[in-house]
Amino acid sequence: MTPHRDRRRGERGVATVEAVLVVPLVLVPVLLAVVVFGRLAHTRLVVDAAAAAGARQAAVVGGDASSVRSRIATELRDGGIAPDRAVVSVSPTAADWGEPIVVRVSIDERAAIPFLGSWAVPLEASFVTRSEVTR
């Protein structure tokens, strides 16, 4: 046998050992990070949709009302978010025709990635609409 073949024979299994070390320490956290950031993006879209739907309802009723908060809660629930986790503010409580109404929906989402840590991510959406009610 040549010395080249002996050296190669001694390295058998090295790639398998490297793969066993790399997959759990590098690939798994990267894949979980993709899932976590995807969930954060989904939550952001749901919060945006809830704020937009709430702003539209606030324009129809002319300010803050139970129907506005109900509409926001429905949008959050449809997106898989518990409505009690969200903080909703509508100002002003009553607006005349053409006056701006601001609807804000905010939520704290938790992001956790193995080996990297866990942190709170505040997400907020704000929409401005104009009242369609003449008082």
Is residue 16 domain-resident? yes
Is residue 135 domain-resident? no
| Residue that is written with structure tokens 């809660």 in the block | 73
Is residue 87 domain-resident? yes
Residue 52 is predicted with a pLDDT of 97
| Residue that is written with structure tokens 């790639």 in the block | 15
Chain segment 108-121, per-residue pLDDT in tens: 999 987 777 899 99
Q: How many domains does the chain have?
A: 1
Chain segment 43-66, per-residue pLDDT in tens: 999 999 999 999 999 999 999 999
Residue 134 is predicted with a pLDDT of 86
User: Do 132 and 62 contact (CB within 8 A), yes or no?
Assistant: yes
Is residue 96 domain-resident? yes
Is residue 104 domain-resident? yes
Strand partners of residue 100: 130
pTM: 0.80
pLDDT one digit per residue (tens) for the chain, 135 residues: 555 555 666 677 888 888 888 878 788 888 888 999 999 999 999 999 999 999 999 999 999 999 999 999 999 999 999 999 999 999 999 999 999 999 999 999 999 877 778 999 999 999 999 999 887
User: Do 90 and 105 contact (CB within 8 A), yes or no?
Assistant: no
Domain range for 43 is: 3-130
